[in-house]
């Protein structure tokens, strides 16, 4: 790859839009649900699955369910996207509020 092409690709990657939002995980055999917030919804499933495969997720109930039932028992769902917000503290507050809403709505545990 030429240097100019590499620089252009890197610049495009840095300028891409990310969608923050709320997601949910469902363990089909037990019906347990977990909800979380993410600054970039396009990458969160990969990050969560990776930590679960490594037996290193910080939420012990989720890790236990994963270890018991395996990855094929889990479903990932994007629940809500948050409009792009220039101020990070406003976005964080909105994500916290929406996560609380979805946890109540789904009777889910917060991640």
What confidence score (pLDDT) does residue 22 get? 97
Domain 19-110, CATH: 3.40.1440.10
Say how many Å lie between the first and final Cα of the chain, rounded. Answer: 40
Question: Is the entire prediction scored with pTM above 0.75?
Answer: yes
Q: What is the mean pLDDT of residues 80-85?
A: 84
Evaluate whether 57 touches 110 at the Cβ level (below 8 Å). no
Hey, what are 19's tokens? Answer: 């969608």
Q: How many angstroms separate the CA atoms of 69 and 77, rounded?
A: 18
Backbone angles phi and psi of 76, in degrees to 5: -105, 135
């Amino acid at each position: 790859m030429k240097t100019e092409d590499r620089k252009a690709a890197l610049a495009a990657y840095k300028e891409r839009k990310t969608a923050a939002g709320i997601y949910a995980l469902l363990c089909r055999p037990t019906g347990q649900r977990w909800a979380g917030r993410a600054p970039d919804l396009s990458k969160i499933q990969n990050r969560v699955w990776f930590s679960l495969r490594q037996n290193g997720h910080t939420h012990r109930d989720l890790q236990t369910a994963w270890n018991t039932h395996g990855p094929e028992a889990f479903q990932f769902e994007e629940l809500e996207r948050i409009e792009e917000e220039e101020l990070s503290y406003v976005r964080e507050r909105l994500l916290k509020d929406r996560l609380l809403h979805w946890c109540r709505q789904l009777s889910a545990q917060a991640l």
